[in-house]
Amino acid sequence: MSRTAFERRAWDIAWKKGDTAPAVAEQLLDGNGVPVVLSGASVKFLLWIVGEAAVHVSATATITDAALGKVSYTPTSTATDTVGIGLIEWQVTYSGGLIQTFLGSTYQKVQIEGDLGA
């Protein structure tokens, strides 16, 4: 069986269907590699499952260190209910209403695998 480079890449995180751990964490950096200050901002965690027409998860993320641009998201069982490959983005809404989306240094990749008990 032949696989594309995308399929061969190691996953940044792997969940089983229905998992609620581990959390996903990222440090958001600007184009110069400087941490984005998140004071007064809100952040959404976005997960798109390859092949789905719409974003699978759009949920509030936790800002763990506003000065250093650190965020995290702990999945719900609904977030991990679909088996497949997913891509993550972090969407920041600044206090003035401007919106900026971050991939991290590149898309974080998630593999959601079927549960043996399912």
27, 35 Cβ separation under 8 angstroms: yes
The pLDDT of residue 97: 96
Q: Measured in whole angstroms, how far is the alpha carbon of residue 101 from the centre of its chain?
A: 11
Gap between the Cα atoms of 25 and 71, Å rounded: 6
Strands (DSSP E) contained in 4-116 are: 13-16, 24-27, 42-49, 57-60, 62-65, 70-73, 84-93, 99-102, 108-113
Q: What string of pLDDT tens digits covers the 118 residues of the chain?
A: 344 444 445 678 899 999 999 999 999 998 898 999 999 999 999 999 999 999 999 999 999 999 999 999 999 999 999 999 999 999 999 999 999 999 755 678 899 999 776 5
pTM over 0.75: yes
Gap between the Cα atoms of 41 and 52, Å rounded: 29
72, 31 Cβ separation under 8 angstroms: no
CATH top-level class for 10-111?
Answer: mainly beta
